[in-house]
Amino acid sequence: MPDPNARFDVQDRVVLITGASRGIGRAFAEAFADAGARVVLTSRTQETLDEVASDIEADGGTALPVAAHVGEIDAIDDLLDTVDEAFGGVDVLINNAATNPHFGPLLTAEDSHWDKTFDVNVKGYWRMVKACYPRMKARGGGKVINIASVAGEQPMAGMGVYGVTKAGVLMLTKTLAAELAQANVQVNAIVPGFIKTKFSKAIWANDDLSESVLKSTPQHRMADPDELAGLALYLGSPASDFVTGSAFRADGGLLVGSGMLE
């Protein structure tokens, strides 16, 4: 009888994760490494990447830390050249790096806020897919997992610019899924709710905002980053080979249940 776990096997797959030095990106890197994948960690700071890679290797995993800025084409090219030399290509790309320099009403944002947020959150994802796609195609297919946000589906107080970019990520995911399907590349999105990370500290460290979030979430809590790892493993494995263009929400019921709460 075939081993049902084989459908979820990511052994020796090369998994490239942006924003991998902390939070969701780090949790994904650790989960894939634990499952036998070879993980490539990238963010802007080499020192923090080295620390994550050291921890993964101490647990018996394989990790390659490479600092790169997803806003710079040359940096991405150098990153992929390093990955090619080490592992021969890429099987799974997880676009996780994000920024949010503006927190407040939409009309108080400056042009620079829009430019920075779009450049990292949308164009950065597009640049990474563009660089990885030929390598995936040469290997017979691949997986792209884009990290979006509930703020891309429903307006969230103070998160207007960020939310618009995450809505862009959702459409980017659908469009790439349609365009890359013939090359056996599946493109999907994970849509987190409120996850307790350094990135979301402006919310959970503020008592009023935190109380509002917990009240609006039927599970009445924020999630830890590793609670998203199962979704990522599924989307990076053969089990999801017929799944593309989809967005998988992990928000504790926030968007479907908030209107029912007293």
Q: What is the pLDDT along the chain (262 residues), one digit of tens a residue?
A: 566 678 999 999 999 999 999 999 999 999 999 999 999 999 999 999 999 999 999 999 999 999 999 888 999 999 999 999 999 999 999 999 999 999 899 999 999 999 999 999 999 999 999 999 999 999 999 999 999 999 999 988 888 999 999 999 999 999 999 999 999 999 999 999 888 666 555 565 565 666 666 667 766 677 788 999 999 999 999 999 999 999 999 887 788 876 554 5
Q: What distance in Å separates the CA atoms of residue 159 and residue 162, rounded to the nearest whole number?
A: 5
- The answer to whether the CB of 116 falls within 8 A of the CB of 87 is no
Q: What's the pLDDT score for residue 14?
A: 98
Does residue 133 carry a catalytic annotation? no
Query: Domain 4-250 sits in which CATH superfamily?
Result: NAD(P)-binding Rossmann-like Domain (3.40.50.720)
Distance CA 258, CA 40 (A): 38
What whole-number distance in Å separates Cα of residue 158 and Cα of residue 144? 29
pLDDT at 199: 57
**How far apart are the two ends of the chain, measured CA to CA in Å?**
51
